Structure 1
Amino acid sequence: MSSSTTRDEEPRSAPKAYSAPALERGFNVIELLAQAPRGLTASEIAAGLELSIGEIFRIIVVMERRRWLNKDPDTDQYTVNPRILEIVFRATPAEELTVVAGPYMRELSDKIDQSCHLVMPNGRRGLVVLRQQNPGDIAYIVRLGADLDLVRSCSGQVLLAFGDEAWVEDVLDADGTLQPKDRAILVNRLKLVRSRGFEMRPSARVVGVTAISYPIFGLGGRVIAALTVPFLVHIDGSQVFDEDAARAALALTSKRISMEMGWFESDEHVAPLPMTGRAKGGAAKGKPRNVRLKDSFPA
C-alpha cells in the first residue's frame, strides 16, 4: 500500500506573518503620544520606543508632513493631530451616529443642565466619540476620545449587557484582573441592566457623580453605543432636574436617536447576552433571558 498522501490530505502551512517595520513604528508613535497629550520630542519618542533617533526620525518627519502629527516650533514637541479623529469618524459608523446624535445631545444637556457623552465599542474597550457640555456654570465632562474600561464603567456595562455573546465573552476573558467570583457578580449585574434597560449607579471613578446610561440601538436591534449622563448634584438649590427626571429625559433622548439609526419599537430582536457567570475555562451555567428592546425605554 502506498504511503503517499493526496493533495487534499497535505497539511496546510500556517499563514504568513507579514512585517512592515516602518508602518508598525508609525503606529507605535501614535500610541506613545496618546499617553503624552502635552507632547514629546523626537529623542523622547525614540527613548520611549527603545529605538535610536535614526530609526525613528524619518518616520516622524513623514507623519508630520502628512498631518498625522503636529510639531511645536518652540519646544520641538510632537503631538497627535486631531485630523486622525476626523479620519476615524469618516471610516467608521461613528460619523453617522455623531451627526444624528449631536442635536439630541445638545437638547438634552440644555434641558437637564448636565453634560452627556456617547460611547462606542472599540475592540475590548469603549471610546468616547461625542460629548456635550451643559450650559450652566458647573459641569463635569468626559474628555473626547477617552478610552474607557468596559468591565468597570457605567457605559461599558450597558454595552456589555446588550452586546453580542461572543464579543462579551471575549471582553470578560481578556480582563486579567477579573476573578471568578467578581465575574459572577458582574454577570448578575449585567442581567439587571438588561432587564431594566439602563444602568444608574455612583461613578466608578469620581465621588459625588452618579452615572446614568442608556443603550443606543441600530438596525435589527443591535446595540451600537451607550449614551451617558454623569449626573452632578448641586448643593446650592440651583438643580434644574433631579436624578430620576434626568434619567427619564435621557431615556427619551436615547430612544429618539435609536429610531433615527434604524431601530423600531416593534423590533424585538436582540443579540443574546451570555448570562453564564463562568470563569475562564469553566462550564457555562444558566440561560440568557431575551428582553424586548422596547422595554428599555419608557412609553
Structure 2
Amino acid sequence: MAQASKRKRTAVDRGGTTTLKGKYAVPALDKTFDVIELLASTPGGATMNEIATRLGRSMGELFRIVIAMESRGLLQKSPETDRYTVAYKFLELALRATPAQDLTRTAAPAMQLLVNQIKQSCHLVVPNGGEGLVVYRQENPDMRGFMVRVGASVNLARSCSGRVILAFSDDQQRDRMLQLAERLLRTRINRTELDQQLARVRARGYEQCASPITHGVTDISYPIFGFYGNLMAALTVPFLELLDGSQKVGLDAARKYLERAAQSVSTALGHHESLKKSSRKRA
C-alpha cells in the first residue's frame, strides 16, 4: 500500500504543472519538455547557458538533450548569436498529428469556395525561415487562370504574401525573418522603406500590388491568424484580369471575397480578437 501510495504522489515542477513520481517519472524526457516549453515562450531564443540558468539545471544535464533535438531538426541554432529557437519541424509534426489544427485542411473548404466565387486561383503561404513557402493552393475552376505551384519559395520583402507575413508577425519574429532573408539573398534590405510599406499593410489590414514577377497580375493577400492572434499564414489571390469582357467578378469584389475567406479560416483555427488582446496583456 505504501509503495502504491508513493507511485501516485505528485509534485509541482518548475513550470507549475504536476508530474507523477515513482516508476512513471522519466527525468530525461522531463528535461526535454522543459527545454521545449521554455523556448516556445521565448520568441527570441536562448543560449545554452541561458536555458540552463532559467531551468535551474546544469549545462551537463541539458547539453546532450539540446544537441540531440538540434540534430533532429526540432531546434535551430543561430550561427551569429548561438541562440536556440524552436524549429518549424515542430509545427509540421503537430499539423500531421492533429488534423483539426492542420492549417491546410482547415483552409481547404474556404479556399475551394473562394475560387468558385471569384474564378481565380488562390494559395496559402507560411513563413519558412527567411522566405515564404507555398503549402497549398486551389486552382481556378475555369479554363483560364494563373496559379503558383505548391513548394514555391516567396521573397518576403518584395512579394505581396511576404509583406503580409512580415507586417502581422511580432517584432522579434519579423527581425529574425529579415536577418535570415538578408543572409539568403546576400544583400541588405532597406529596412526604413520596408517599415513604411509594412505600416501601410497593417493600417488597411491587407496588401494589394502588381505582381513583381508576372505582367497583368495583381496580387491580393490577407493574413490568417491562429488561436492567440499569432500570424499563421497569408492567403493570396494572384488576380488575372481578362481582356475579352468575360470576367464576372472584378478586382474589388474579389478582394472582399478573399477577406471573408481569410476571416473564415482564422475563425476555424480558433482565432478571436478577445483572445488576441488577452495574450498581449499576459506578454
Tell me the TM-score range normalised by the shorter chain: 0.5 to 0.7
Note if contact 2:226-2:266 (Cα within 8 Å) is conserved in structure 1.
Answer: yes
Whether 1:208 and 2:216 are equivalent positions in the alignment is: yes
In the alignment, residue 102 of structure 1 is paired with which amino acid?
A
Residue among 248, 259, 276 paired with 1:251 = 259
TM superposition shift of 1:154: 1.0
Give the corresponding residue for 1:27.
none
Distance 1:237 1:157, change over 3 A: same
Secondary structure in 2 aligned to 1:220?
A: coil
Note if contact 1:172-1:178 (Cα within 8 Å) is conserved in structure 2.
Answer: no
Note if contact 1:114-1:139 (Cα within 8 Å) is conserved in structure 2.
Answer: yes
Note if contact 1:200-1:211 (Cα within 8 Å) is conserved in structure 2.
Answer: yes
Give the corresponding residue for 1:260.
268
Which one has a larger percent helix, Structure 1 or Structure 2? 2
TM superposition shift of 1:269: 3.1
TM superposition shift of 1:265: 4.1
Note if contact 1:114-1:231 (Cα within 8 Å) is conserved in structure 2.
Answer: yes
| TM-score computed with the length of structure 1 as normaliser | 0.59
TM superposition shift of 1:94: 10
In the alignment, residue 130 of structure 1 is paired with which amino acid?
Y
| Deviation digits for residues 41-94 of structure 1 (CA, Å, limit 9, x no counterpart) | xxxxxxxxxxxxxxxxxxxxxxxxxxxxxxxxxxxxxxxxxxxxx989516889
Note if contact 1:94-1:129 (Cα within 8 Å) is conserved in structure 2.
Answer: no
Secondary structure in 2 aligned to 1:145?
A: coil
| Deviation digits for residues 12-68 of structure 1 (CA, Å, limit 9, x no counterpart) | 79x68979xxx99xxxxxxxxxxxxxxxxxxxxxxxxxxxxxxxxxxxxxxxxxxxx
Note if contact 1:152-1:204 (Cα within 8 Å) is conserved in structure 2.
Answer: yes
TM superposition shift of 1:153: 1.5
TM superposition shift of 1:123: 2.0
TM superposition shift of 1:115: 0.2
User: How many angstroms apart in 2 are the aligned matches of 1:199 and 1:120?
Assistant: 16
Give the corresponding residue for 2:237.
229
| Deviation digits for residues 150-192 of structure 1 (CA, Å, limit 9, x no counterpart) | 2221111101101122121112223155546x22111110111
In the alignment, residue 122 of structure 2 is paired with which amino acid?
C
Paired residue total: 199
- Provide the alpha-carbon RMSD of the alignment: 3.2
TM superposition shift of 1:268: 4.7
Distance 1:221 1:89, change over 3 A: closer
User: How many angstroms apart in 1 are the aligned matches of 2:135 and 2:100?
Assistant: 7
In the alignment, residue 208 of structure 2 is paired with which amino acid?
M
5 Å-filtered alignment, 1:29-44, equals none
- Structure 2 gaps of 5+ residues are 1-58, 74-91
Distance 1:202 1:93, change over 3 A: farther
Give the corresponding residue for 1:46.
none
Note if contact 1:162-1:270 (Cα within 8 Å) is conserved in structure 2.
Answer: no
- Structure 1 gaps of 5+ residues are 1-11, 25-85, 273-299
Give the corresponding residue for 1:197.
205
Q: Single out whichever of 99-108 and 165-174 deviates more from structure 2.
A: 165-174
Note if contact 1:115-1:133 (Cα within 8 Å) is conserved in structure 2.
Answer: yes
| Deviation digits for residues 113-146 of structure 1 (CA, Å, limit 9, x no counterpart) | 0000001112222111110001111111100111
User: How many angstroms apart in 2 are the aligned matches of 1:163 and 1:268?
Assistant: 13
Whether 1:126 and 2:150 are equivalent positions in the alignment is: no
User: How many angstroms apart in 2 are the aligned matches of 1:178 and 1:209?
Assistant: 27
User: How many angstroms apart in 1 are the aligned matches of 2:100 and 2:120?
Assistant: 23
Secondary structure in 1 aligned to 2:254?
A: helix
Report percent identity of matched pairs: 45
User: How many angstroms apart in 1 are the aligned matches of 2:202 and 2:279?
Assistant: 12
